[in-house]
Amino acid sequence: MKLKRDLAILLQRNDFSMACKTDLKHPKHFHSHPGYELVWLQDGAAQYIFEDKIYPMAKDSLLVFKSSSLHKVHVPEGRKYARVVIQFTRNFFGFEHEALEEFQRILERMSAPHTLLQLQAEAAGALRGIVERLMAENAGDDTWGKKGAIQIHLLELLLFLCRSMRRETGVGDRLDRGTDKAVLTENILLELNAAWNTNWSLDALASRLHMNKFYLCHFFKKELGVTIQQYILQKRFHEAQKLLINTDLPIREVASRVGFVSDSNFIRGFKKHLNTTPKLFRESAEAQHYKL
């Protein structure tokens, strides 16, 4: 019974949610989910980490990304993390609109589907007004027209984002490389993403990066909040989920493709990581039309 309950939580799809948070509770591991996510940092500092990019965020940073990308947040010790988080899927609308289509086109044109905007005072004020209208509707009673009102304000937000991203670079792709630490972390991730499903070794990784292996491990854990081994496993299970959902490959073949020497090791690790078996995950994903 607990296994089915955990799986229901794992596969739960919420087509729209938003929250204003000041606590430090957030997923400590790399994860993914359907749809899109907007994170507006109102106070404090945070790092959002993707497979190919690190985004150091400060006050009035606005991160926009496709949340099916593997990602996690890391908050420096002793820092605040006050933010507004909005998540939605295309299914929330059920109709086509120019702002939604352009928003999706901009993200798809990027080298990777995420970008960071640093809002100036006027833009931050405009965003605050849209978010407040969204928040008021979302927090209100279940009155007539609530969903339609949320859709209207969310489209207003997408219009704001499209205009902001088009002004940034023409297609919304961020050009700067961030801090030296972020660049180094991105280089480490680049090497890991080339080796995650192979019989990789820490010595070989450190050699390619021209780093001492002990410093490499310390640096990675400090900057990302997980160890290199944990990242490799989270990446493997993320890719396994995609194969289980998007293909009919046998479990044994999925295990091999994501770097496991045996399907028994894969099944045991998958169950430990996701609280379900690959077979049950696939069956439940199909039943719920879950996409990643």
Residue 9 counted as domain residue:
no
**Is residue 9 pLDDT above 70, yes or no?**
no
Residue 245 and residue 102 in one domain: no
Q: Specify the residue for token string 């490389």.
A: 177
Tell me which amino acid residue 190 is: L
In angstroms, the CA 192 to CA 231 distance is 9
The model's confidence at residue 112, banded by pLDDT at 50, 70 and 90, is confident
Domain count, the chain: 2
Q: 148, 169, 190 — which closes off a domain?
A: 169
- Look up the pTM and report it: 0.83
Span 54-77, pLDDT tens digits:
999 999 999 999 998 999 999 988
State whether 186 and 165 are in the same domain.
no
**How distant is the alpha carbon of residue 242 from its chain centre?**
14
Query: What's the confidence (pLDDT) of residue 13?
Result: 56
The number of helices, as runs of H, and strands, as runs of E, in the chain is 11, 8
Beta bridge partner(s), residue 48: 55, 73
228 & 114 share domain: no
User: 5 in a domain, yes or no?
Assistant: no
* Mean local confidence (pLDDT), 140-166: 93
Residue 221: inside a domain: yes
Q: In angstroms, what CA-CA distances link 83 with 2, 30, 59, 131?
A: 32, 19, 9, 12
Q: Is residue 6 part of a domain?
A: no
User: Are 49 and 113 contained in the same domain?
Assistant: yes
What distance lies between CA 96 and its chain's CA centroid? 24
- The whole-number pLDDT of residue 14 equals 77
Query: Is the predicted pLDDT of residue 160 greater than 60, yes or no?
Result: yes
Residue 170: the pLDDT is: 41
Separation in Å, CA 51 to CA 69, 114, 191: 8, 11, 10
Q: Which residues pair with 65 in a beta bridge?
A: 37, 114
Residue 18 resides in a domain:
yes
Specify the higher pLDDT residue, 140 or 173: 140
156 and 214 inside one domain? no
pLDDT per residue as tens digits for the range 167-207: 865 433 443 445 688 889 999 999 999 999 998 999 999 99
Q: Are 245 and 291 in contact (CB under 8 A)?
A: yes
Q: Are residues 156 and 212 in the same domain?
A: no
Claim to verify: residue 197 and residue 133 sit in the same structural domain: no
Domain that holds residue 145: 14-169
How far is Cα 169 from Cα 167, in angstroms, rounded to an integer?
6
**Residue after which a domain boundary falls, among 169, 203, 232:** 169
- Indicate if the alpha-carbon torsion angle 226, 75, 11, 244 is positive or negative: negative
Domain CATH for 257: 1.10.10.60
